[in-house]
Amino acid sequence: MNEYMFSDITIGLEASFDVTIDSSKMSMFLEICNDTNPLHMCGEYARSKGFSEKVVHGLLTSSFYSTLVGVHLPGKYCVLHGIDIKFIQPVYIQDKLVVSGKVKYINEAYRQIEIRALIVNQHGKKVSTATIRVGVKDE
C-alpha cells in the first residue's frame, strides 16, 4: 500500500494496477448487492440485448476505483469524498482490466485532491472513466 502524504502529492502523479474479473468476483458482488437483473445473470438474455455475453455489474468494475485511491493514490491516508463515473463499454467475465489514475487538481486549503481515473480492457478500450475527489488525512 502506498502512503503518500499530502505534501508528496503533485499534479500529474500517477498510479495503476491490473485486475481480472473472474466469475467468483461476480458471484461475491451479487451476494452483496443482490442486483439480479438478467443482463448480469443470463447470457442468452444479454445477447438478445446486443451484448456478447452476460455483463459484469458496472459498480463491481467501479469498485476498483476505491482500490485505486485507497491503496495506490494516495493510499493509506485517503478519505473518499466523491466520485463521478461514466460507463463507456461493457465488461465481461475474464476481461483483464488496467485501472489507472492521475492527480489533476489539488485543493491546498482543505487538502483535497482530484484524480482523473480510467479503466481500460485487454483490447485497449476504455470501459469507464471517473473523476474522484479524496481528502488526504495524514495528520
Partner 1 sequence: MSRDEIFEGVQDIFRDIFDEDNLVLEDTTNSDSIEEWDSLNHINLVSAIEKEFKIKFALGELMGLKNVGDMINLMIEKSNE
Task: Pinpoint the alpha helices (H) of 2-57.
Answer: 23-33, 38-41, 43-48
- Binding residues for partner 1, rule: CB under 8 A, are 81-82, 105, 107-110, 112, 114, 133, 135
Q: Please state the closest distance from residue 2 (CB atom) to partner 1, in A.
A: 22
The distance of closest approach from Cβ of residue 131 to partner 1 in the complex, given in angstroms and rounded to an integer, is: 11
d(CA 60, CA 87) in angstroms, rounded, equals 12
Nearer to partner 1, 44 or 84 (CB): 84
The sign of the dihedral angle between the CA atoms of 114, 119, 125, 126 is: negative
Our CB check for partner 1 shows the closer of 25 and 133 to be: 133
First-to-last CA distance in the chain?
18
Smallest distance, Å, CB 7 to partner 1?
A: 15
In the block, residue with C-alpha cell 448487492: 33
Closest C-alpha to 64, from 36, 101, 33 = 101
Q: Which one, 2 or 112, has the nearer CB to partner 1?
A: 112
In this complex, which beta carbon is closest to partner 1, that of residue 29 or of residue 77?
Answer: 77
Minimum CB distance to partner 1, residue 64 (Å): 23
